[in-house]
Structure 1
């Protein structure tokens, strides 16, 4: 079975799209980074290093220091698919991030996005 194309894409190639999506709605790169750090456990320096290395999505999530245990509270639809129903673990992690960025762009408060 071939891997989904997103797994081999560089995280750094998609990251600017996350930032642009947030900024178009009046949010900030700092908030995008906070979401990514909350989800993955990367420090800001580690996140920047991953971006610099052009790490692919699969490696980015596989090397994440500590995936947030509260990520299973993320519910909803991304690209027409309920994130809680995705069976492929790596795809679910990617879609969790997509959902969090969507919530940011829709103006949700950071406390709610970060499931506090």
Structure 2
């Protein structure tokens, strides 16, 4: 996967709070809930509802967001394509983590069962 340094820098500087409303709108428009979205975020990052809200209000960048996160050890089981990129081929850790989150939100919005989204080894 050939992602440019400019793309990586743009990803790092993007704030979680700028993307979160899009995630929420996407899942709610497909009949899923904010609680389910938070469950998916918590699975990937270890953040509870209170921490998610703090990160939104603090307008943290994705770089800070994932530095603070404890990424789920099963996150490597997230595979497939998102935004034209094959997740398992993304070499830059931050970009891969952001795409993991994007993929989980997509799966939630598409109606995938939670036990399938929250991968187990």
TM-score range, shorter chain: over 0.9
5+ residue gaps, structure 1, are none
Structure 2 counterparts to residues 68-87 of structure 1, below 5 A: 68-87=72-91
How many residue pairs get aligned? The number is 115
Moved over 4 A (4+): none
Does 1:49 find its partner at 2:54? Answer: yes
Does 1:6 find its partner at 2:11? Answer: yes
What TM-score, normalized by structure 1, do the two folds share? Answer: 0.94
Does 1:37 find its partner at 2:42? Answer: yes
What TM-score, normalized by structure 2, do the two folds share? Answer: 0.90
Query: 1:15-55 deviations in whole A, cap 9, x for unaligned?
Result: 00000010111111111111111100112111111111010
- Matched position secondary structure for 2:74: helix
Moved more, 4-13 or 90-99: 4-13
Q: Give the superposed CA RMSD.
A: 1.1
- Matched position secondary structure for 1:50: helix
Please name the residue that 1:62 is paired with: 67
Please name the residue that 2:20 is paired with: 15
Please name the residue that 1:109 is paired with: 113
5+ residue gaps, structure 2, are none
